[in-house]
Amino acid sequence: DAKTTQPNSMESNEEEPVHLPCNHSTISGTDYIHWYRQLPSQGPEYVIHGLTSNVNNRMASLAIAEDRKSSTLILHRATLRDAAVYYCILRDVGNQFYFGTGTSLTVIP
């Protein structure tokens, strides 16, 4: 199973953009890059995923490096409700799903 590396914690001011990085240098050609977040006392929640091209949805944007060895989750305007642990996960064809250590995001009012 391929691994991901994320900073342990990050801070952002409210209503500012946030860029959460993830390194996955051992990614294989068929691995999808998934991002989830977990708010306190809740189960993880899907945010976004992609394979090669950048992706946008109502929650966030995902920027994927050309060599696919890194990606960045972008929250365009952080709110207090975005304070959570964000996990970058590589999902392979075998239905395995392994969480890395994640980034704890603090949003400062």
Partner 1 sequence: DTEVTQTPKHLVMGMTNKKSLKCEQHMGHRAMYWYKQKAKKPPELMFVYSYEKLSINESVPSRFSPECPNSSLLNLHLHALQPEDSALYLCASSQLGSLYEQYFGPGTRLTVT
Q: Which two tokens stand for residue 105?
A: 């995001």
15 or 97: CB nearest partner 1: 97
Which residues make Cβ contacts (< 8 Å) with residue 47, sequence separation at least 6?
35, 36, 37, 59, 60, 73, 86
Q: Which of 7, 21, 23, 44 binds partner 1 (CB under 8 A)?
A: 44
Give the interface segment with partner 1, choosing from 18-26, 41-49, 62-70, 75-83 (CB under 8 A): 41-49
Nearest to 76 by CA among 22, 9, 35, 15: 15
Task: Compute the least distance from the CB of residue 63 to partner 1, in Å.
Answer: 18
Residue 8 makes contact with partner 1 by CB under 8 A: no
Residue 53 makes contact with partner 1 by CB under 8 A: no
Residue 61: its H or E element? strand 61-64
13 or 28: CB nearest partner 1: 28
